[in-house]
């Protein structure tokens, strides 16, 4: 298959008042030529996304949910992204959920937020179909489409799933109890290869449908009241022995949304008819005890049937919710009765009974949304009645077990050599006696009974109606040890409690309970064979311990059962510590790098991988590094058996300065390269050290960044996955990641008319500084053209009332807004000589200068501009002709000026367009087409119009401007205010209908207020939408958005903000990027300042 690539340039013009900007497109056509009769079937990646959304988030509060991305296909995918539709409209049109932010492992992710317009469809920010057109995405008008680019150039099937944490805002106007849903899908922007070739390798997205209602969705219900209930009972609040001697506390926690006020708030708990209310212990409001309430309480001393089982607390004062989940707390004591309220024994022959409980809430609440009905009485609480809020097991005898390190071997955590104390606790119900009472404890291989250390003598402390008995168990008498107990190497302990009590029974009453303690030691090796490769107790091994109590239980009340073979079980596990992975960028070109680290194409990047081993025993340990494509391309790696802090050379690895495992084990890892998945794996195999000792694996390896262009200003993440098996072939996985940025040049192109020899013509909008007239061979301007100047007023004017034969001077402005320190190299500029223009007899008077006035050279002759283009000459190998971004110097600006003659077949003409663009640039001298950033699909073309007297085409084409104003002397740093003034003008001769203006603020900004001259404004989170039924010719709409800077930008004062407009008859959305300025250009335009 051959691929032929061509780039075509087009433009559109937007005008307004005294300002003008351009919308332009670089259209890349990829033509795929196949051989007749040849069928090609390509494996494709399969993007998969799973949402985990809370079932009942509170109205008016921010909440978080996760989106888990993975590639479930068989081949790598390139450019992973996630689309989510948030129901911003909610139930009433403006009371749903809006986007706040997204992050991965605390690394902020960039998100593109669009609001579905009246027509219901938007263009995807970057995903394109086989015709290279952006995909349509259609949803409910007013809802948000949130597109998140994941910080990975590529994503392979073996890569660990990525859990994205999304924070969203629930409107305080949301309708409680009305279910909403989030739709989502996942995709790969570039498909199955890293090229932007949609005809042959289109975007992979699942599901592909434009209709978002056909995507997978997860529902949730906006909540007014949240609730939880906990108990101080045994086994983490889940079990108790029956009887009045076993009194515990319940705590009811009620959550009211932040800022919501409820009057006469009431907490209600109808107790089960075998629970006995003892006392009301506390009522707390916002964490502080209060006496401002009235209480209805069940009678004490006996269980109650309805209505006497009713417990309610009504607050005297209004309660306003906070962000805490326990705005109101009710604490009361209870126990489980021997006989329920109907006179039946609580415990039957099974020896246990499950008691389930729910709570409810009541009060008076007026929603903030006047469209919603007020509530009086029962308040909606989705979690209160959906399932039991608390479950408690009442038992004739309850048993618990705990194991904890008693004497540490010096290595933190649970490790071989540690002495573990095991505690068995049991309670006997008040109305039972227990005979032939034996407690069996079975612990796994890898543990051994231990009684030689102080405090490790197996002992008991038992209290019943006959008093308290304490003592030590005697091995061979009332303690039997069998080891190994079975083929798995387990050990059995039999504690004969009845024998320890002198052969008698344990009698309930007086809070009958008992405690048994004994010790075990964690072994270095298993005694019996294990499935793993080594006999050692390895990282991640789970050592289990099971206990049960057996005996004959006899009830003492009439009707109580006799339970001849009572058995109750419990258990406790110990887990050997796993290794801890970490990954950082150690050096760039041999020099330490800051955090976050910024890389340049061609850099030698040294990564440092560490893996801390609490115990140096493991099975099948591998450390796999997923290098993101196309920034890195791994093909080989040589491991050198040295320990050094000096960065190794390209495609070399070595032990880092902190490595201690090499000396301990003698192991040098084997290196595996997977060039398809772009991974390097360091394989350590299995190892068993004869003693318990901690150590550290420390690896340095160096790779080179490629010269492949990548998305501008995108943070990338490099993942490390540590895999190890425990002794039972269960794989544990640890993930570490490090973030970095790629510094690259990024060019923006404008073109405008800057002069005419026709005094009757008008150049609109006005220019920020005067240019010499066409035909003048001298310097085309005086002063400096810099980014600050262009941020105020761009040089992209058109000329009106032009005549045939006029001499027009054009200017092409190339601005580097990228951050590559060497700037942009090998720039080729090309202009299209459209019909209606001609070369003047004296030539085009071409000049090429930097914004600071420096004269620049170019290869070829000036007329090459209209054919193959002219290549600008770089000053030297380390300095690009268009320097790195600087706000004031002008070195990052290249200005080309030249003259053309208007030459048409008729004196009356309409609009003539002259278009120019950059067809090549790169990050280093001499790379040319081998690393051409234009192929990255960025925007590198613009046009200027020469308008005659003939009427223009009837097209609604709104003009947009946006500028952020600071107070004089301010820089746009944290705490300062920015007023964004947005102007929408209709310069065309037709009316636009259903015009939607959307302004999505960056997360660094807080929205304070909005003022508009006309239309209806809606605010959802960070997005302001203004709807205009119509916009007449010449009509102007202004909008001021007042914001406060929350977080400093990477470049002080360089906060960008984008505004877009869409109307019924427009082909696509028109957008404009505004920046902050502290002064206005002298255009005569009035303005306001932030207060």
The CATH number of the domain holding residue 881 is 2.60.40
- The full 3-state SS of 911-976, as one line of letters, equals EEEEEEEEEEEECCCCCHHHHCHHHHCCCCEEEEEEECCCCCCCCCCCEEEEEEECCCCCCCCCCC
Helix, strand or coil for residue 383?
helix
* Least confident residue range of 179-183, 212-216, 541-545, 925-929: 925-929
Length of the chain: 1091
Query: Are residue 264 and residue 404 in the same domain, yes or no?
Result: no
pLDDT band at 533 (very low <50, low <70, confident <90, very high): confident
Nearest to 272 by CA among 332, 337, 330: 337
Please give the pLDDT value at position 898: 96
**Phi then psi dihedrals of residue 384, to 5 deg:** -65, -45
Please give the pLDDT value at position 40: 35
Query: Are residue 321 and residue 402 in the same domain, yes or no?
Result: no
Helix, strand or coil for residue 213?
helix
CA–CA separation, 19 and 765 (whole Å): 5
Query: Are residue 494 and residue 470 in the same domain, yes or no?
Result: yes
Query: Are residue 389 and residue 431 in the same domain, yes or no?
Result: no
Asked if residue 1 is part of any domain, the answer here is: no
Please give the pLDDT value at position 410: 78
What's the Cα-to-Cα distance from 1088 to each of 378, 1041, 1051, 1073, 1079, rounded to whole Å?
50, 11, 25, 19, 12
Mean predicted lDDT score pLDDT of the chain? 86
CA–CA separation, 489 and 72 (whole Å): 40
Nearest to 450 by CA among 403, 516, 520: 520
Convert the pLDDT of each residue in 608-653 to its tens digit: 999 999 888 888 999 999 998 878 889 999 999 999 999 999 999 9
With contact defined as beta carbons under 8 Å apart, do 52 and 79 qualify? no
What's the Cα-to-Cα distance from 833 to each of 93, 258, 924, rounded to whole Å?
50, 63, 30
Nearest to 933 by CA among 812, 820, 1074: 820
Asked if residue 952 is part of any domain, the answer here is: no
CA 168 to chain centre: 11
Helix, strand or coil for residue 1091?
coil
Query: Are residue 413 and residue 285 in the same domain, yes or no?
Result: no
Asked if residue 1084 is part of any domain, the answer here is: no
Residue 764 has pLDDT above 90, yes or no: no
Please give the pLDDT value at position 844: 96
Host H or E run for residue 448: strand 447-450
Asked if residue 447 is part of any domain, the answer here is: yes
For β-strands 597-599 and 731-742, DSSP reports them as parallel
Asked if residue 40 is part of any domain, the answer here is: no
**Phi then psi dihedrals of residue 788, to 5 deg:** -65, -40
Query: Are residue 206 and residue 268 in the same domain, yes or no?
Result: no
**Cα dihedral across residues 404, 408, 409, 415: positive or negative:** positive
With contact defined as beta carbons under 8 Å apart, do 665 and 616 qualify? yes
Helix, strand or coil for residue 781?
coil
Please give the pLDDT value at position 1083: 31
Please give the pLDDT value at position 938: 46
Query: Are residue 272 and residue 329 in the same domain, yes or no?
Result: yes
pLDDT band at 968 (very low <50, low <70, confident <90, very high): low
DSSP assigned state of 214: G
CA 642 to chain centre: 39
Tokens 């740093």 map to which residue? 973
Q: Read off the pLDDT of each residue in 114-120 and give the average, rounded to a whole number.
A: 91
Asked if residue 1091 is part of any domain, the answer here is: no
CA–CA separation, 211 and 881 (whole Å): 47
**Containing domain of residue 364, as a range?**
226-395
Beta bridge partners of 736: 720
Query: Are residue 384 and residue 444 in the same domain, yes or no?
Result: no
What's the Cα-to-Cα distance from 891 to each of 452, 849, 1051, 1087, rounded to whole Å?
79, 10, 17, 30
Please give the pLDDT value at position 937: 44
Nearest to 709 by CA among 75, 153, 192, 199: 153
Beta bridge partners of 916: 831, 942
Helix, strand or coil for residue 791?
helix
Please give the pLDDT value at position 33: 29
With contact defined as beta carbons under 8 Å apart, do 902 and 806 qualify? yes
Residue 491 has pLDDT above 90, yes or no: yes
Please give the pLDDT value at position 826: 94
489: left (phi over 0), alpha (psi -120 to 50) or beta: left
Please give the pLDDT value at position 908: 58
For residue 344, what is the domain's CATH number? Answer: 2.60.40.740
User: Nearest 5 degrees, angle CA 768-CA 770-CA 771?
Assistant: 120
Query: Is pLDDT larger for residue 1003 or for residue 897?
Result: 897
Please give the pLDDT value at position 985: 81
Convert the pLDDT of each residue in 331-379 to its tens digit: 999 999 999 999 999 999 999 999 998 899 999 999 999 899 999 989 9
Give the percent of the chain with pLDDT over 70.
88
**Phi then psi dihedrals of residue 445, to 5 deg:** -55, 150
For residue 176, what is the domain's CATH number? Answer: 2.60.40.1510
**Phi then psi dihedrals of residue 234, to 5 deg:** -70, 170
Query: Are residue 783 and residue 911 in the same domain, yes or no?
Result: yes
Asked if residue 42 is part of any domain, the answer here is: no
Asked if residue 37 is part of any domain, the answer here is: no
Query: Are residue 446 and residue 488 in the same domain, yes or no?
Result: yes
Residue 967 corresponds to which tokens in the numbers above?
């107070």
* Least confident residue range of 18-27, 724-733, 939-948: 18-27
Q: Which of 204, 220, 236 is the last residue of a domain?
A: 220
Give the percent of the chain with pLDDT over 90.
57
For β-strands 715-725 and 695-704, DSSP reports them as unpaired
Query: Are residue 92 and residue 193 in the same domain, yes or no?
Result: yes
The number of beta carbons lying within 10 Å of the beta carbon of residue 803 is 17
Q: Which of 376, 395, 414 is the last residue of a domain?
A: 395
The end-to-end CA distance of the chain, in Å, is 63
CA–CA separation, 477 and 725 (whole Å): 41
Instruction: State which of 410-414, 457-461, 526-530 shows the largest mean pLDDT.
Output: 457-461
pLDDT band at 5 (very low <50, low <70, confident <90, very high): very low
CA 502 to chain centre: 64
Q: Which of 378, 395, 412 is the last residue of a domain?
A: 395
What's the Cα-to-Cα distance from 1082 to each of 780, 889, 1048, 1054, 1074, rounded to whole Å?
20, 20, 29, 21, 18
How many domains are there within the chain?
A: 6
DSSP assigned state of 864: G
With contact defined as beta carbons under 8 Å apart, do 49 and 184 qualify? yes
CA–CA separation, 721 and 735 (whole Å): 5
Strand order in the sheet with 352-357: 239-241, 390-395, 352-357
pLDDT band at 1073 (very low <50, low <70, confident <90, very high): low
pTM here? 0.71
Query: Are residue 609 and residue 519 in the same domain, yes or no?
Result: no
């Amino acid at each position: 298959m051959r691929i032929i690539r061509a780039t075509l340039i087009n433009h559109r013009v937007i005008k307004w008042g005294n300002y003008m900007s351009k919308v332009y497109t670089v259209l890349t056509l990829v033509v795929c030529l196949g051989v007749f009769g040849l069928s090609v079937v390509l494996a494709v990646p399969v993007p998969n996304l799973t949402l985990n959304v809370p079932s009942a988030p509170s109205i008016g509060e921010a909440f978080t949910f996760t989106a888990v991305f993975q590639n479930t296909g068989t081949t790598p995918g390139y450019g992973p992204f996630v689309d989510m539709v948030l129901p911003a409209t909610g139930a009433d049109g403006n009371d749903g959920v809006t986007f706040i932010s997204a992050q991965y492992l605390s690394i902020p992710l960039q998100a593109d937020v669009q609001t579905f317009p009246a027509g219901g469809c938007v263009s995807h920010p970057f995903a394109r179909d086989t015709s290279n057109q952006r995909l349509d995405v259609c949803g409910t008008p007013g809802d948000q489409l949130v597109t998140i680019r994941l910080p990975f150039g590529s994503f392979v099937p073996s890569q660990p799933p990525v859990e994205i944490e999304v924070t969203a805002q629930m409107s305080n106007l949301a309708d409680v109890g009305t279910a909403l849903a989030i739709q989502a899908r996942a995709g790969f922007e570039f498909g199955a290869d890293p090229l932007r070739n949609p005809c042959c390798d289109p975007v992979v997205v699942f599901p592909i449908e434009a209709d978002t209602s056909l995507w997978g969705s997860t529902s949730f219900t906006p909540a007014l009241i949240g609730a939880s209930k906990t108990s101080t009972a045994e086994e983490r609040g889940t079990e108790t022995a029956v009887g009045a001697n076993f009194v515990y506390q319940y705590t009811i926690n009620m959550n009211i949304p932040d800022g919501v006020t409820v009057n006469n708030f009431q907490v209600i708990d109808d107790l089960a008819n075998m629970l006995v209310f003892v006392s009301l212990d506390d009522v707390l409001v916002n964490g502080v005890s209060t006496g401002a309430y009235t209480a209805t309480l069940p009678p004490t001393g006996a269980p109650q049937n309805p209505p006497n089982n009713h417990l309610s607390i009504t607050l005297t004062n209004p309660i306003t919710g906070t962000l805490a989940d326990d705005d109101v707390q009710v604490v009361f004591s209870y126990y489980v009765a021997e006989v329920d309220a109907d006179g039946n024994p609580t415990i039957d022959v099974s020896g246990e009974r499950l008691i389930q409980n729910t709570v409810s809430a009541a009060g008076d609440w007026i929603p903030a949304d006047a469209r919603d009905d007020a509530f009086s009485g029962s308040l909606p609480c989705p979690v209160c009645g959906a399932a039991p809020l608390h479950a408690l097991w009442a038992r004739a005898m309850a048993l618990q077990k705990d194991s904890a390190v008693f004497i540490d071997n010096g290595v933190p955590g649970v490790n071989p050599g540690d002495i573990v104390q095991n505690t068995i606790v049991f309670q006997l119900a008040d109305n039972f006696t227990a005979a032939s009472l034996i407690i069996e404890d079975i612990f796994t291989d890898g543990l051994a009974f231990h009684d030689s250390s102080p405090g490790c003598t197996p002992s008991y402390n038992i209290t019943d109606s006959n008093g308290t008995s304490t003592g030590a168990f005697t091995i061979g008498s009332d303690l039997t040890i069998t080891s190994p107990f079975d083929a798995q190497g387990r050990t059995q302990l039999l504690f004969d409690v009845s024998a320890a009590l002198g052969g008698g029974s344990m009698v309930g009453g007086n809070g009958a309970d008992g405690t048994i303690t004994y010790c075990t030691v964690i072994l270095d090796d298993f005694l019996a064979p294990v499935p793993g490769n080594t006999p050692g107790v390895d990282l991640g091994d789970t050592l289990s311990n099971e206990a049960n109590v057996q005996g004959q239980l006899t009830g003492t009340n009439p009707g109580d059962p006799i339970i001849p073979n009572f058995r109750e079980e419990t258990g406790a596990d110990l887990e050997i510590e796993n290794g801890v992975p970490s990954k950082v960028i150690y050096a760039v070109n041999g020099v330490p790098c800051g955090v976050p680290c910024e890389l340049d194409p061609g850099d030698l990047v040294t990564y440092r991988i560490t893996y801390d081993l609490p115990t140096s025993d493991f099975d099948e340990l591998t450390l796999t590094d997923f290098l993101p494509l196309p920034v890195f391309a791994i093909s080989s790696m040589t491991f050198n058996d040295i320990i050094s802090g000096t960065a190794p050379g390209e495609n070399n690895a070595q032990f880092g300065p902190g490595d201690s495992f090499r000396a301990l084990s003698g192991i040098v890892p084997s290196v595996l390269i997977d060039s398809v998945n772009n991974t390097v794996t360091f394989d350590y195999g299995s190892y068993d050290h004869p003693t318990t000792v901690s150590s550290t694996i420390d690896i340095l390896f160096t790779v080179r960044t490629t010269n492949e262009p990548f998305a501008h200003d995108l943070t990338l993440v490099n993942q490390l996955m540590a895999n190890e098996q425990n002794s039972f072939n269960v794989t544990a996985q640890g993930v570490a990641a490090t973030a970095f940025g790629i510094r690259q040049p990024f060019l923006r192109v404008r073109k405008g008319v800057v002069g005419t020899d026709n005094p009757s013509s008008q150049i609109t909008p006005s220019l920020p500084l005067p240019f010499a007239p066409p035909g003048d061979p001298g310097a085309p301007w005086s002063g400096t053209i810099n980014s600050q100047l262009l941020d105020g007023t761009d040089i992209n004017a058109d000329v009106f009332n032009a005549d045939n034969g006029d001499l027009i001077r054009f200017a092409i402005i190339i601005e580097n807004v990228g951050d590559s320190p060497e700037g942009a190299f090998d720039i080729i500029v090309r202009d299209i000589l459209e019909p209606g223009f001609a070369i003047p007899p004296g030539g085009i008077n071409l000049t090429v200068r930097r914004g600071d006035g420096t004269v620049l050279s170019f290869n070829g002759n000036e007329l090459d501009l209209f054919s193959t283009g002219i290549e600008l000459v770089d000053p030297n190998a380390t300095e690009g002709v268009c320097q790195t971004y600087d706000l004031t110097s002008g070195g990052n600006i290249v200005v080309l000026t030249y003259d053309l003659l208007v030459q048409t077949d008729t004196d009356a003409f309409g609009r003539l367009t002259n278009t120019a663009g950059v067809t090549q640039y790169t990050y280093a001298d001499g790379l040319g087409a081998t690393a051409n950033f234009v192929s990255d699909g960025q925007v590198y073309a613009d046009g200027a119009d020469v308008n005659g007297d003939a009427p223009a085409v009837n097209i609604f084409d709104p003009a947009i401007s946006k500028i952020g104003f600071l107070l004089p002397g301010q820089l746009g740093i944290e705490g300062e205010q920015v007023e964004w003034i947005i102007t929408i003008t209709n310069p065309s001769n037709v009316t636009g209908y259903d015009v939607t203006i959307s302004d999505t603020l960056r997360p660094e900004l807080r929205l304070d207020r909005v003022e508009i001259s006309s239309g209806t404004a809606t605010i959802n989170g960070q997005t302001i939408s203004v709807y205009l039924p119509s916009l007449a010719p010449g009509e102007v709409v202004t909008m001021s958005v007042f914001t406060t800077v929350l977080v400093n930008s990477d470049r002080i004062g360089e906060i960008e903000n984008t505004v877009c407009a869409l109307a019924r008859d427009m082909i696509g959305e028109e957008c404009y990027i505004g920046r902050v300025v502290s002064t206005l250009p002298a255009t005569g335009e009035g303005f306001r300042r932030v207060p």
